[in-house]
Structure 1
């Protein structure tokens, strides 16, 4: 009606645009006195699922209206003089969107097709849109929690006026792909663990910090308690305080994912599924905890460990494993000590102090390996597969050390 008031004549024709025969018939109805001069392809269908749960039906439903239709339009009009060939893509294909691997692939195809056409000297631009404020058939199912999750990720809705202005601006860009998206850069900077790789130059480098202690972990606020490269240090934290710190970390991040203001809303013994978690929320929580701890965590974390308390316990196990001394590094350090000792003169008094220290260290290592019973047993054997000192007692070994140190 609005177009008619402006003097335009509109014709609505129904056909399956993914079917080349039906599309050919529809294009043939365009009168020669008003030839085809431009195409705007806006089709899209969602069928969300995690990558590991995608089925051929998920993929077919999402790809067909975008990829098939776009390709048929290209083939059927490539010898027609067009002023524009506009493809409506989505920012998720470039920046990523949880649970929409199939939709991202479909939009990535449109972006590639625009580049292909321009390489062939044909007009094309793919507009990778962000979220619009005005509810559409595709976004009508988004609840307040879904919108809150998008806001936390730094994606804000576009008003219709802003969207149309960006559409006009995009038409004037001499490039195959544009991203008309409204971003909250401050929110993205607050979530460095989830910042899109392509926006790192725009967002700047993530600050480097180490979360070292329960107070830093427990006061996560509305941001993320951690960044890539940061590590959650357990050094010097008593066991009870460490357990509390990890539970508070999990509760804080679990509350943020659900849109709660404080960790108090989360019962650490209540199951995630009972609290309202689905697959997408589970992945978001995994991403937040990975960023906070520096650990590589599976997407099934909250299903394998279904309560915040169990997830905190698993994080404790993994962090302990990460901070366990590396045997190869210790041996390399011992090699360095041996090289330093070779430079000490035989009559240097320091050699005797070093010998005393080495005896104490060796006795402690052997005693720990034998449950504490080996440190005082003079006849105990230093057995070990492939060990050249396997038949030597502790006292004999210490005598060898003494002889070496005394030259």
Structure 2
């Protein structure tokens, strides 16, 4: 990457879209204080009527810049052309920085063509328009503000990820056509913007699980300068928290695919996940005493709910507290549903926490779905015990004939009680067509019976 300041042309004019927004204002101030630009054209939908616009102009003017505010939809060719016509020919356009964007989050089943168009228009449509109307000018920089959501993904932002992935692709195309384009896929800035100012605890935790940490403004502007000097068409400009991601993830599947070569799950966690996968949750639950089962499921629900919201312990989620009061929104609800479905193996509806609004009520539903009640629970518990018995029999010494004979007789007696074998005191018909009186049988005859009829050796 080339060193030194980016040649933006101090005598030229820089166009900043979304210029009255949080990020646009930060960029405009940076262009004046660090790059020495003296002519700024700040475009936004509301222009001079935007909140804080007058104060921003006053500040930038005090720093020695001449600032023009314009209200326009930069995706509209006619409106943008009218704005560009206002640029003083003595200070021609030399830089375009497109920071504008809109989010319209929602689970994939709630996405509509209108939701997609709302997000695409200020991103890709505007980028097209900006390129078409400025490609014949001698630009030093053409910067597109993209998002790491397009590279790493982010729950609830399928439309936003698609728009930013398209923006990255456009940067490659524009650069191939001779425009010095670069698309910067930003992570989260610490400075709250119009798009991020209303993010809640669950939203921030979802971002952290993609390996992204909030980025100080000074670092973000340093990365902007690095992007301006870069020869690449698209870069991810984000503060990565791979160590934190490694600590939060319990398996490889919880790490974004593109980061799995960089984030290794600790062996202890990987082994624990593998061991859990080998034994179904229903089996583990059935092995518990009936009085303990609901409490165990409640603890599972609380633990997973705490993980969704970024809490370090299940104690942060009350067993009788409403999920909505804990900070759950529709995206967090779907994530909790997915986590519980993975943990239990039960197919669950997306409306799970709305139908069962507390951990205890939700746990009762899971117990019902798992069928760990009454005879079903007893049957599963008995099966678990038989598995343990089978393992114990495999270690029984062949030298201890009396113990083996006693065990064999007990097994026959138990089978007789279930109706799966004749009573042990009766004469047993063997598979060879003969018969054996168990009361009068010798040890050798019982061992032969165990070998032939029960498959024990």
Shorter-chain TM range is 0.5 to 0.7
Distance 1:24 1:254, change over 3 A: same
* Displacement after TM superposition at 1:119 (Å): 3.8
Q: Which residue of 2 aligns with 1:284?
A: 335
Q: How many residues align?
A: 350
Distance 1:297 1:41, change over 3 A: farther
2:256 and 2:225 map into 1 onto residues whose CA distance is 26
Distance 1:314 1:153, change over 3 A: farther
What 5-or-longer segments of structure 2 have no aligned partner?
A: 1-57, 381-406, 435-448
Structure number with larger C-alpha Rg: 2
Q: Which residue of 2 aligns with 1:383?
A: none
2:432 and 2:260 map into 1 onto residues whose CA distance is 57
1:319 and 1:185 map into 2 onto residues whose CA distance is 40
Distance 1:294 1:85, change over 3 A: farther
Contact 1:257 1:285 in 2 (8 A): yes
Distance 1:92 1:294, change over 3 A: farther
The answer on 1:171 being equivalent to 2:228 is yes
- Greater displacement, 22-31 / 233-242: 233-242
- Within-5 A mapping of 1:5-404: 5=62, 7-143=64-200, 146-147=203-204, 150-151=207-208, 154-192=211-249, 194-205=254-265, 207=267, 209=269, 230-231=276-277, 234=284, 237-258=288-309, 262-273=313-324, 275-289=326-340, 293=343, 295=345, 298=348, 299-303=350-354, 305-312=356-363, 372-373=418-419, 375-376=421-422, 399=433
1:130 and 1:30 map into 2 onto residues whose CA distance is 32
- Show CA shifts across 1:34-72 (max 9, x none): 332221111111222222112333222222111211111
1:101 and 1:65 map into 2 onto residues whose CA distance is 16
Q: For residue 75 of structure 1, give the secondary structure of its aligned residue in structure 2.
A: helix
What 5-or-longer segments of structure 1 have no aligned partner?
A: 212-225, 325-356, 378-393
Contact 1:24 1:76 in 2 (8 A): yes
Contact 2:246 2:265 in 1 (8 A): no
Q: For residue 90 of structure 2, give the secondary structure of its aligned residue in structure 1.
A: coil
Distance 1:362 1:93, change over 3 A: farther
2:209 and 2:160 map into 1 onto residues whose CA distance is 21
Structure-2-length-normalised TM-score: 0.61
* Displacement after TM superposition at 1:312 (Å): 3.7
* Displacement after TM superposition at 1:23 (Å): 1.5
Distance 1:179 1:363, change over 3 A: farther
Structure-1-length-normalised TM-score: 0.68
- Show CA shifts across 1:61-99 (max 9, x none): 222111211111122233433222211011222222222
Distance 1:161 1:210, change over 3 A: closer
Contact 2:208 2:245 in 1 (8 A): no
Contact 2:155 2:206 in 1 (8 A): no
Q: For residue 32 of structure 1, give the secondary structure of its aligned residue in structure 2.
A: coil
Aligned CA-pair RMSD: 4.7
Contact 1:192 1:227 in 2 (8 A): no
Q: For residue 133 of structure 2, give the secondary structure of its aligned residue in structure 1.
A: helix
* Displacement after TM superposition at 1:290 (Å): 5.5
